[in-house]
Homo-oligomer: A and B are copies of this chain.
Amino acid sequence: MERKHLDGCLVTNRVDQYYLTGFDGEDGAALVLPHRAYLITDGRFAEEAAIHAPWARAVIRTGPLAEAVGKTVRRHRLGRVGLDPAHTSVSMQATLRKACRPSRLASAPRILEQMRIVKDPSEVAAIVRAAEIAQAAFRTVVRRIRIGMTERELATALLLEMLRRGASDASFPIIVAEGPASSLPHARAGDRKIRAGSAVLIDWGATVDHYRSDLTRVVFVRRIPPRFRRMYQNVLAAQAAGIEAVRPGAAFSQVDAQARGVLRRRGMHKAFSHGLGHGLGLDIHEAPRLARSSEGVLEPGMVVTVEPGVYFPGVGGVRIEDDVLVTDNGCRVLTDLPKELDRMVV
């Protein structure tokens, strides 16, 4: 705040607010001042705010949120209050601006995103727990794959096993895509039945203590379809190159380029239609992005997915995804489910 000449910072994004205060109410705004913080919420969350953020002063609004924010801002005669333009809607900004007068709202882009990008050890520990639960559930469920089972049944079983192990939720809607459906990088689980000789792409993760994991594996039912053999080996090689490139100081775009280069040399880069990976933590997609156009370099404590994929409409797709922590000297892969081609037959 000092560097940006701000007298305070207003945080309206729910996840940012949880990050700052420990309070995860559906309604609320946090106003952070140099020596004090306010949580502005409504009556439904009054007790929760007191329990989860006892050190913050709770302001229980009865009127609109903006009015309560404005009143608090004006009471402190704040000159400039920062607001993240990426997490504030145009109408919310207009309403807040009016309510906070004569205090001014200043654009403070990505201020929380930049704080959240490097994880502290307790955050890494939560991501590791989320990864372990996702992996344990997968190991259990993959043994129960049967011909004729639907994608949805498999997804439900995976979710249930994660919940049983202490996940509060899946970290996003689980993708189970059988056969040609696997060529849709973001297919959901549907009524398609699992057939012998088909590839099943599974992209899933767990939310544990608010933190998330994110993995993808492709399994082959009974046997490996011939066309998938080369796709799989290429993606696996690209992923290895991507992980190899993860270290402090490496440019985000360079990590992407390392993996993409492997697919290019093998003539499959045109089928790799998305970025290599993304940060994960309280959100399933957060900074940094590992992509061609992404600017910045990796630092110790960042956690990213490395997930190259190739997709051929009508045929199918392969994606392999692991979660990787940037360490002082290189990286540590937080997920360790098998991924060698011959071990993927179920």
Which residues of A come within 8 Å of B, CB atoms?
25-26, 42-48, 63-64, 83, 85-94, 107, 109, 152, 156, 159-160, 163-164, 168-169, 173, 183-188, 273-274, 293, 311, 313
Which 4 A/B pairs are nearest by Cβ-Cβ distance? A43-B273, A85-B90, A44-B185, A85-B91
Contacts of A94 on B, CB cut-off 8 Å? Answer: 85
Option from B47, B109, B183 in Cβ contact (under 8 Å) with A313? B47
Contacts of A164 on B, CB cut-off 8 Å? Answer: 156
Option from B45, B46, B160 in Cβ contact (under 8 Å) with A160? B160
Distance of A85 Cα from B25 Cα, bound (Å): 23
Distance of A47 Cα from B156 Cα, bound (Å): 25
Given A46-B273, A63-B293, A91-B109: 20 more A-B contacts, CB < 8 Å: A26-B186, A42-B273, A42-B274, A43-B273, A43-B274, A44-B186, A44-B274, A45-B184, A47-B183, A47-B184, A47-B311, A85-B90, A85-B94, A86-B92, A89-B89, A90-B93, A156-B164, A159-B159, A159-B163, A160-B163
Known: A44-B273, A184-B48. Contact between A89 and B91, CB under 8 A? Answer: no
CB-nearest residue of chain B to A172? B26
Contacts of A64 on B, CB cut-off 8 Å? Answer: 293
Distance of A48 Cα from B152 Cα, bound (Å): 18
A243 to chain B, nearest CB (A): 21
